[in-house]
Copies of this chain bind each other. A is one copy, B any other.
Amino acid sequence: MAVKLTVNELAALVGGKVIGDGDCLIEGLGKIESARPTEVTFLANPRYAHYLSQSKAGAVLVSAGTSASGTTLIEVENPYMAFLTLLEGFFPQEPWVNVGVHPTAVLEEGVDVDKSAAIGAFCFVGRGTRIGERTILFPHVIIGPDCHLGNDCKIYSHTAIRERVHIGNHVVLQPGVVLGSDGFGFVPDSDRYRKIPQVGTVVIEDNVEIGANTTIDRATLGETRIRSGTKLDNLIQVAHNVDIGSNSVIAAQTGISGSTRIGKGARIAGQVGFVGHISIGDDVQIGAQSGVGQSVPDKTVVSGTPARSHNLWRRIEASLTRLPDLFRRVRAIEKQLKEELPENKK
Bound-complex Cα distance A187 to B82 (A) = 12
Q: Mark A15-29, 1 if CB is under 8 A from B, else 0.
A: 000000000000001
Asked whether, in the complex, the Cβ of B145 is within 8 Å of the Cβ of A122, the reply is no
Instruction: List, in ascending order, chain B residues with CB within 8 A of A326's CB.
Output: 319, 326-327, 330
A187 contacts which of B80, B195, B333 (Cβ < 8 Å)? B80
Bound-complex Cα distance A322 to B31 (A) = 47
If A181-B212, A288-B275 touch, whether A142 touches B142 (CB-CB below 8 Å) is no
Asked whether, in the complex, the Cβ of B157 is within 8 Å of the Cβ of A142, the reply is yes
Instruction: List, in ascending order, chain B residues with CB within 8 A of A138's CB.
Output: 142
Closest to A267 in B: B188
Asked whether, in the complex, the Cβ of A181 is within 8 Å of the Cβ of B207, the reply is no
Q: Mark A249-263, 1 if CB is under 8 A from B, else 0.
A: 101110101000000
- Copy number of this protein in the oligomer? 3
Bound-complex Cα distance A136 to B322 (A) = 55
Instruction: List, in ascending order, chain B residues with CB within 8 A of A343's CB.
Output: 340
Asked whether, in the complex, the Cβ of B211 is within 8 Å of the Cβ of A213, the reply is no
Near B by CB (< 8 A), chain A positions 324-346 give: 324, 326-327, 329-330, 333-334, 336-337, 340-343
Closest to A141 in B: B140
Instruction: List, in ascending order, chain B residues with CB within 8 A of A245's CB.
Output: none
Chain A: interface residue count, which band?
A: 35 or more
Q: Say yes or no for A282: interface residue by CB 8 A criterion.
A: no
Chain B nearest CB: distance from A301 CB in Å?
16
Near B by CB (< 8 A), chain A positions 156-180 give: 156-158, 160, 162-163, 172, 174-176, 178
Q: Say yes or no for A317: interface residue by CB 8 A criterion.
A: yes
| Interface-side segment among A46-54, A64-72, A111-119, A232-240 | A232-240
Instruction: List, in ascending order, chain B residues with CB within 8 A of A197's CB.
Output: 84, 87-88, 91, 93
Asked whether, in the complex, the Cβ of A323 is within 8 Å of the Cβ of B334, the reply is no
A121 contacts which of B106, B162, B217 (Cβ < 8 Å)? B106
Instruction: List, in ascending order, chain B residues with CB within 8 A of A80's CB.
Output: 187
Asked whether, in the complex, the Cβ of B145 is within 8 Å of the Cβ of A96, the reply is yes
Q: Say yes or no for A63: interface residue by CB 8 A criterion.
A: no
Near B by CB (< 8 A), chain A positions 185-229 give: 186-187, 189, 191-197, 199, 207, 209, 211-213, 215, 217, 221, 229
Instruction: List, in ascending order, chain B residues with CB within 8 A of A213's CB.
Output: 176, 178, 213, 215, 235
A142 contacts which of B140, B144, B199, B337 (Cβ < 8 Å)? B140
Asked whether, in the complex, the Cβ of B231 is within 8 Å of the Cβ of A186, the reply is yes
In the assembled complex, 24 residue pairs joining A and B whose CB atoms fall closer than 8 Å, in A order, are: A29-B221, A30-B221, A81-B187, A84-B194, A87-B221, A102-B106, A120-B124, A138-B142, A156-B160, A158-B176, A176-B213, A178-B234, A184-B233, A186-B231, A193-B229, A195-B209, A237-B253, A252-B255, A255-B271, A257-B270, A273-B288, A316-B321, A326-B326, A336-B337
